[in-house]
Structure 1
Amino acid sequence: MIVDRPFLNVLILSFGFMLVFTAFQTMGNIEQTILKSIHAEDSSYNADAYISLAIIYGVFATCNWLAPSYISVTGPRVAIFTGSCCYALFIGSFFCSNEALLYAMSAVLGVGAAFIWTGHGQYLTENSDNDTMSRNAGIFWAIFQTSQFAGNLFVYFIFKSDTIDRGQRTIIFGVLTGLAVIGTVMLMTLNRSQQRLSLGEAEGVSSADKELRLPEPTRKKPLEATWSAFTDAIKLFFTRNILLLSFTFIYTGLELTFYSGVYSNSVGFTKAMGEGYKSLVGLSGIFIGLGEVIGGAIFGIFASKIFRNCGGWPVVLTGFFVHIFAFISIFLNLPNDAPFADTNDVGFIKASPILAMAGSFALGFGDACFNTQIYSLLGILFIKESAPAFALFKFCQSVAAAISFSYSTIAGLHIQLLVLLVTIFLGTAAFCYVEYRDKKTRNPQQIDSALVDTISGDDC
């Protein structure tokens, strides 16, 4: 039996990310709650989760310009492994309650995030073609987002009291650090992308075909390759497609901030949710993950079959309407001061845990709609420039996330929802226009890009 090596690579990548981000996304959901519990025991400890996350995404944004240069020398596999090590170190740093250490490790994680996500984009593209890009992006997203389940289910059962004591925190930090280390070990086993092999070296190729070779990257000296990758990223940033898609990227960064660092904590700060309201932090994360997985499975894996002649815009519009529902329900259900600390205030209706979980599910489902289609579109538009294209995606996304985490320390829930409402209209319109324009200009009789490099982002 011939093993589909590229698909195996995608699966290893997906499960490795799932383990690493089970640790990180769970910590992101509960970080503000955890830090507040430490402050309750030690009033001199004033670390703020929103500042930590703002540092992460600020450094992440800056280093996205350098990540393609790093990958041009090391390759995507080394970049992915380096980044995953940074995630494990960040989670481990919580064992020591020190503000300076937390913020320093947040900066380290920002560097690692740029490496792991840019490397992931290139590695996923290298192991996909036009026919499998949407499927692989959907499979990756669905498996990756199962990370929301295990960690948050664990938190749901741990957070049974209104206060989180030192013993509970130690258990949480130990489990999450262990998961990050296991995921890092799995990512060490990633295989070299098959597209970098000659066709004769690939499995299942007859000797008669050995003369046909897959495209090899141009051999350059390390310094030359580094500089070339950096300048290519700058040039690509100012192309029309990237400038337009930056509105979509920015929206995903803002809503990433909201669902990963603000919303679940806001639910856990609303005392009107009833007895055991702290446990809703973990339950909210579970429902976000459920929405992510279902959205990734439906609109990532099956989108190419369901919308074969339409492209990704119906999926993005679905995400648009689902997120609009989420914003309205959150506006009605939670008080304006919910993101900051425990509050006795109520929203415009009686606080409902069921409606809160529906909002969580909608946030995750809509996020999957946007992200699976962005991955798919970038993988098709920028086959030759996958590393800088994904780096620029993460640059715009992380700049928006850093800014959002910064103003989350002072902006009430209503202001944050208003910002999301404005940017979702801009981001959705930009995506639909770019895809429409690409379909008008694309040659319908394309040669498989895995064998002949005929498609360039400059053509779009």
Structure 2
Amino acid sequence: MTPEGKMLLNIVILGFGFMFMFTAFQTCGNIEQTVIKSFNSTEFHGSGYTSMAIIYGVFSASNLIAPSVVTVIGPQLSMFFSGLLYSGYIAMFIYPYTWSFYTASVLVGVGAAVLWTAQGNVLAINSTDNTIGRNSGIFWALLQFSLFFGNLYIYFSWHGHVHITDKDRQTVFISLTVISLVGCFLFFLIRKPDRQPSPSEVTESLLQAESIESVESSPRPGLCSQALDAFLQGCKIFVTREMLLLSTSIGYTGLELTFYSGVYGTCIGAMTGFGKDAKSLIGISGIFIGIGEILGGGVFGMLNKSQRFGRNPVVLLGLVTHFVAFYLIFLNIASDAPLAPEAGTDQQAYITPSVAVAMLCSFLLGLGDSCFNTQLLSIIGLMFRENSAPAFAVFKFIQSITAALAFFYSNYLLLHWQLLILVVAGFLGSMSFFVADWFAESARRQSDYDSI
């Protein structure tokens, strides 16, 4: 197999591993608030929104040490052990207790930071300047198949169920735990790539030829030194002009991640205007989000491969798509739906509740999310190739801290206030991305000119 073919195979395996893991975890996140509302126990007093806020809060803090962990034990083992923590969180719902619920939330927050930092590292080292966009799209499309399969299972399992029984809950979460473990073990199939050096790397190696002997004779840095260096690199990347510009766009993806993965499904399940199948519609909503994500990841990956279109038009499409979705949700979903009890809300918004409109909005949320994330993965992998692990750790740090903030305010804010925050953040994030992309393209053209 050619080196490029081997790298592509690694990306595909990476995508399938994440697909299995997040078939379990994203389905879990989509239904957990609804499950908790249906769980009657004097020993359990948890909140799904609070749990997700803890996960993303710990996630953001753990990104400070994640590059060091990946540097010391390698991306493959990092993803495997992090995946086990995800599986433990899902398994906790089989017999939930308040203490185990929040303890598992803390642990999966740590695991998430290491997992996504390692993922970014694997994506970068298995890509070249010409394939980073394509590989980002392939990975994103495979990852988002998780929304399709998991939520399809939820729909058939809960169809016609007004109340979620203990047996319903246990059956679902045992299945999800097994699926998550399958994804963990897939990571062991990833092999170290045989990368072909780029012209700039060849030039650099020639310039350094005179110092090879001295480098080989010097002592290799210890693990602590490597870990400290990875941490310092992350701090340096965080304050670069490009990353500061991208931080607003990254922060927006954290806010809308919270909305489509946790809040919107809960809103649909709380709408009595959707009839007795409102709970099972949570699964259908997740399927339509997944279809949008898969379509976006595939199409925009191909656009990046052709290099005929830049990143800015894709981000602009994502912004417009999300604005349309937010407006339709504002018209279709009652403002108190995120905070409604298990019995749901009898309130209506500005139109008669429509299942078709709700599912259209789910599709648009997924499509817009893929627009932003594929382009952010592409531009960060391109700009920080030599320090990909710290760069992706910074990316996830910013994204997760805004997601934690959003899950926190989701406990208190009505729907229309949450939508207003998303609109403002989406506009500002898109504008800052356009400026960052302009700087990135200017730097690339200057580098090409210097090479000539």
Mark yes or no: TM-score above 0.5: yes
Scaled by the length of structure 2, the TM-score of the pair is 0.91
What is the identity, as a one-letter code, of the residue corresponding to 1:393?
Answer: F
Shift, 1:72, TM fit: 1.4
Question: Does 1:261 pair with 2:262?
Answer: yes
Preserved contact between residue 136 and residue 301 of structure 1 (Cα < 8 Å): no
Residue 21 of structure 2 aligns with an amino acid whose one-letter code is: V
Q: Which residue does the alignment assign to 1:340?
A: 339
Where do 1:159-308 residues align within 5 Å?
A: 159-160=158-159, 161-195=161-195, 219-305=220-306, 308=307
Matched-pair contact (CA < 8 Å) for 2:255–2:402: yes
Give the match for residue 202 of structure 1.
Answer: none
- Trace 1:294-443 onto structure 2 (pairs within 5 A): 294-305=295-306, 308-341=307-340, 342-443=344-445
Q: CA deviation at 1:416?
A: 0.6
Separation of aligned partners in 1, 2:42 and 2:420: 34
**In 1: Cα distance, 2:419 partner to 2:245 partner:** 23
Q: Distance in 2 between matches of 1:89 and 1:198?
A: 41
Structure 2: how far apart are the matches of 1:156 and 1:17? Answer: 22
Q: Is the 8 A contact 1:304 1:311 kept in 2?
A: no
Q: Residue 254 of structure 1 contacts residue 404 of structure 1 at CA under 8 Å; is this kept in 2? A: yes
Is contact 2:242-2:439 (8 Å) kept?
Answer: no
Question: Could you tell me the percent identity over the aligned residues?
Answer: 43
SS at match of 1:303: helix
Q: Do the aligned partners of 1:123 and 1:193 also contact (CA within 8 Å) in 2?
A: no
Q: TM-score, normalised by structure 1?
A: 0.90
- Cα 1:417–1:395 change in 2 (3 A) is same
Structure 1: gaps spanning 5 or more residues: 200-210, 448-453, 455-460
1:75 to 1:44, Cα distance in 2 relative to 1, 3 A: closer
Residue pair 2:333, 2:349 contacting (<8 A) in 1 also: yes
CA contact (8 A) 1:70 1:226 kept: yes
Given that 2:270 and 2:345 are in contact with CA atoms closer than 8 Å, whether structure 1 keeps it comes out as yes
CA distance in 2, matches of 1:318, 1:310: 13
Find the counterpart in structure 2 of residue 28 from structure 1.
Answer: 29
Q: Provide the residue aligned with 1:451 in structure 2.
A: none
Deviation per residue, 1:167-209 (Å, 9 max, x gap): 11111011100100111111122212334x999xxxxxxxxxx
Task: Note the alpha carbon deviations across 1:82-125, whole angstroms, 9 max, x for none.
Answer: 21111111111111220110100010000110011000001100
Q: Mark the CA change 1:44 to 1:88 in structure 2 (over 3 Å): closer, same or farther.
A: closer
Paired AA for residue 380 in structure 1: L
One-letter identity of the residue aligned with 1:423: A
1: CA distance between counterparts of 2:108 and 2:302? 30
**One-letter amino acid of the counterpart of residue 171, structure 1:** T
RMSD: 2.0
- Give me the whole-angstrom Cα distance separating, in 2, the residues matched to 1:9 and 1:340: 43
Match for 2:230: what amino acid? A
Q: Which residue of 2 aligns with 1:142?
A: 141
Q: Find the aligned partners of 1:17 and 1:194 in 2 and give their Cα distance.
A: 23
Code of the aligned partner of 2:174:
G
Residue in structure 2 matched with residue 13 of structure 1 by the alignment: 14
Query: 1:275 aligns to what SS in structure 2?
Result: coil
Give per-residue Cα distances to partners, 1:55-80, cap 9 Å, x unaligned.
Answer: 10000000001001111111211211
Deviations 1:312-334, CA, capped at 9 Å, x for gaps: 00000000000000100000000
Partner residue of 2:202? none
Match of residue 64 from structure 1: 63
Shift in Å at residue 301 of structure 1?
2.8
* Residues 43 and 98 in structure 2, CA contact (< 8 A), matched pair in contact too: no
Residue 146 of structure 1 aligns to a residue whose secondary structure is helix
Alignment partner of 2:335: what SS?
coil
Structure 1 residue 44, shift from structure 2 partner: 4.8
Query: Which secondary structure state, in structure 2, belongs to the residue aligned with residue 220 of structure 1?
Result: coil
Quote how far apart the aligned CAs of 1:436 are. 1.1
Structure 1 residue runs of 4+, over 6 Å off? none
Separation (CA, whole Å) in 2 of partners of 1:437 and 1:423:
21
CA shift, 1:388, in A, is 0.9
CA contact (8 A) 1:287 1:361 kept: yes
Alpha-carbon distance change, 430 to 144 in structure 1, aligned in 2, over 3 angstroms: same
Secondary structure at the counterpart of residue 385 of structure 1: helix
Structure with the larger helix share: 2
| CA contact 1:130–1:380 (8 Å) conserved in 2 | yes
Give the whole-Å Cα distance in 1 for the aligned partners of 2:302 and 2:375.
Answer: 11
Aligned length: 428
Counterpart CA distance in 2 for 1:333 and 1:105 is 35
Alpha-carbon distance between aligned partners in 1 of 2:197 and 2:384, rounded to the nearest angstrom = 22
CA distance in 1, matches of 2:283, 2:221: 49
In structure 2, how many angstroms separate the alpha carbons of the residues matched to 1:68 and 1:445? 27
CA distance in 2, matches of 1:272, 1:303: 42
Gaps of 5+ in 2: 199-208
- CA separation in 2, counterparts of 1:51 and 1:247? 24
Any conservation in 1 of the 2:303–2:309 contact (CA below 8 Å)? no
Residue identity matched to 2:422: L
The separation in 2 between residues aligned to 1:354 and 1:37, in whole angstroms, is 26
Shift of 1:2: 4.1
- Please tell me whether the aligned partners of residues 52 and 407 of structure 2 are also in contact (alpha carbons under 8 angstroms): yes
CA distance in 2, matches of 1:418, 1:347: 16
Q: Displacement of 1:135 after TM fit? A: 0.3
State the shift of 1:42 in Å. 2.2
The Cα of 1:310 is off from its aligned counterpart by 4.1
> Structure 1: how far apart are the matches of 2:339 and 2:167?
24
